[in-house]
Structure 1
Amino acid sequence: MNIIGTKWIFKNKMNEHGVITRNKARLVAKGYDRGTSDKTLFIKRKEDDIILVQVYVDDIIFGSNNEELCETFVEIMKSEFEMSMMGEFNYFLGLQVKQLKDGIFLNQAKYCKDLFRKFGMDKCKSINTPFSTSCHLDHNIAGNPVDETKYRGLIGSLLYLTANRLNIMFVVCMCARFQSAPKESHFNASKRIIKYLQGTKEVGLWYPGNISLSLNSYSDSDFAGCKIDRKSTSGTFHLLGSSLISLQCKKQACVALSTTEAEYIAAGS
């Protein structure tokens, strides 16, 4: 399936909300089904063929296993808007896409380099792990405070990176818990993540073209891992064939009284 990026120019002087609403209504009227979890995703099936359309403000990304469906979609949009075709999709909102014959590779190497420069760590040494197994973050009330704005900016940048770098989600979410009154210990833990990214910035997700469509889900949890309230953290991830498509890391809402209960809550999520 080839992915094509498109940018349209609005013909009519409508506000942004009005244009987007009309565009979505147009797609639904043409037989496109709106995504249940992602309302900006539209799907249309024709026998064994499928076309996927992602709408983001004034950009559209679409792809299909049938070129005819792509051409039909372009004609529908051209009847409503003046469109400029950007060609095969290769970069979007910090996400780099390499479309090869045997699959698609996604990574955020350029975004990582911009992140290093933004926080003055473009020449820092790399480290093998994003978090120390012996480190347990807490509020550290007696610690030295740091600039809240800078810390929140760093956490926000790292959270956006987890869209592709799912292996840092746990530690980023851990550091994100202390944005209200960050201390030097929290900031150092966050900078360790950047040092880890320095040596792994080219790492990404590989989606081979010949995978099976079997969906497998897994869950796990620690037990009373949070030093502050003794709550456990659930982890779940989902594989489509051999490709990772979703990962979640979230602190549980209640205190588990046993490892069995913590695992049950994780599986239930």
Structure 2
Amino acid sequence: MCKELEQVMQEKFEMSALGEMTFFLGLQVHQSKEGIFIPRTKYVGDILKRFQMGDSKHSGTPLAQNHGITPNGMGEHVDPSLCRAMIGSFMYITASRSDIMFPTCLLAHYQSNPKVSHLVAVKTIFRYLKGCPDTSLWYPKDDNFDLIAFSDSDHGGCKIDAKSTSAGCQFFGKSPSHVVLQTSKPV
């Protein structure tokens, strides 16, 4: 059936078959008899290198619980294009790295007018990723792929503007497929 599909696709579209997928949109993909493994190690290494964070010490957490990040921030202004590039590099992997979702979304609020304190927090996320670059996705071949979803809300949880924060995570079988964090105005 795969060969038939390939032939039909080649008749309808200009394409060529290159064999098993090993990269897709910058993601490594390893396929085996046991399932599909999507490591994030290469991407994490690439962004650490891109922003000269490869030699930094690692952090045990992406953001301190009492982080104190505010719109006013402490320190001088820093280059907004640098902060946007750094935060953008996190946004690409937040769907599979729920551990950096909250700090990434929080710091994205301040990327148009970042201060030194915001840049320090962004660099903390990089140092955290350096300490755990091997967090990956695994989709076993014989998994049941039932859709299971979880959600959580913290009404008025944002200390800056009293907005509600909510999060959700969906799984296909045992593997996460999508993670969402959002803030909204209180009702």
TM-score scaled by length of structure 1: 0.65
Gap change, CA 1:80 and 1:214, over 3 Å in 2:
closer
Deviation at residue 182 of structure 1 after TM alignment: 0.5
Q: How many pairs does the alignment contain?
A: 187
2:102 corresponds to:
170
Which residue among 186, 190, 193 is the counterpart of 2:122?
A: 190
Alpha-carbon distance change, 142 to 128 in structure 1, aligned in 2, over 3 angstroms: closer
| Moved beyond 4 Å, runs of 4+ | none
Q: 1:145-156 maps to which residues of 2 (within 5 A)?
A: 145-156=77-88
**CA distance in structure 1 between the partners assigned to 2:158 and 2:104 by the alignment:** 14
- Kindly provide the CA deviation profile for residues 183-242 of structure 1, in whole angstroms up to 9, marking residues without a partner as x: 111111111111011121111111111212322211112232222211121011112222
1:138-161 deviations in Å (ceiling 9; x for gaps): 112563211011111111111112
CA distance in 2 between counterparts of 1:111 and 1:173 reads 19
Answer 1 or 2: which has greater strand percent. 1
Q: Which residue of 1 aligns with 2:169?
A: 237
| 1:221 counterpart letter in structure 2 | S
Could you list the runs of 5+ residues in structure 1 that have no partner in the other structure? 1-67, 257-269
Between 1 and 2, higher relative CO (CA 8 Å, sep ≥ 6) is seen in 2
Q: Give the greater-gyration-radius structure (CA).
A: 1
- Structure 2, unmatched stretches of 5+, are none
Instruction: Report the 3-state secondary structure (helix = DSSP H, G, I; strand = E; otherwise coil) of the residue aligned with 1:161.
Output: coil
Q: Report the Cα distance in structure 2 between the residues aligned to 1:175 and 1:139, rounded to whole angstroms.
A: 10
Aligned residues: CA RMSD:
1.6
In 2, are the aligned partners of 1:226 and 1:232 still within 8 Å (CA)?
Answer: yes
